Structure 1
């Protein structure tokens, strides 16, 4: 219960200070906080998305209200990490990001946009109770995650 409350509170705090991810400018002058920001953003995306996957697989009972909250969080959070990659020097340090991100910025930016689009589509269907719709939307969103991880994340 504490973990769910903490996750909900953290998600709410991030959503309350919603940031438009514009890769050309970033509020970070130093790479360390930028790396931490994007890692925490991805952790929150994974936690919320993981709950949806658990519902789909029957590991958690499907609850339309909770599914909608999780999907809305993923859709909002998907906009956060990109700006933190634009910080000079954030390719070094405590990061699993591959240097190819900065060599192929346009492709990376497109893949982050694909995540934003797929997660917005997920949010449109997560609470409607149709497990077929949910399965398709989860698969599409997961595919965008995998595409980026395959090319741009060290294991």
Structure 2
């Protein structure tokens, strides 16, 4: 448990430091496409870990605290990568993406959403240790809300 508290605090600091640098515009279409591909890969992995959690929360899969903890850990680790893989501003190129230009226009708001995900996923790891299905379901909802909030603000649907 001490590890999770420490990792959440460290994660928040890393996220703050990682995204305080102003995003660099993509230098070419090739650069923009590669940056977009890498950014989308992180979000694809986030989705692949969120899917089973959502299924467990909705009762479509049996609640498995060990699996919840594993997916929460992965989401937490991936959350620490979002800022790095979003630092290339691709808005100057016509790349196929759901990312809104607001990511680079409002970096502090984007950083806050990332930090929210980092903290919510660390909390889910901690809650999963207790193996209380009701508490786990609530903590999964907390992670889901951070994902949805970011989608609302920074992703074209």
Same fold (TM > 0.5): yes
Find the counterpart in structure 1 of residue 72 from structure 2: 71
Find the counterpart in structure 1 of residue 58 from structure 2: 57
TM-score, structure 2 as length reference = 0.76
Structure 2: which 5+ residue stretches go unaligned? 1-13
Contact 1:64 1:127 survives alignment (8 Å)? yes
TM-score, structure 1 as length reference = 0.77
Is 1:44 the equivalent of 2:45?
Answer: yes
Partner deviation per Cα, 1:39-69 (whole Å, 9 max, x = no partner): 1111111111111121222211222222221
Find the counterpart in structure 1 of residue 103 from structure 2: 101
Question: In 2 relative to 1, CA 91–49 (structure 1 residues): closer, same or farther, beyond 3 Å?
Answer: farther
Find the counterpart in structure 2 of residue 150 from structure 1: 152
RMSD of Structure 2 on Structure 1 (CA): 2.3
Find the counterpart in structure 1 of residue 88 from structure 2: 87
Contact 1:67 1:127 survives alignment (8 Å)? no
* Matched length: 136
Ranked by relative contact order (alpha carbons within 8 Å, sequence separation 6 or more), the top structure is 2
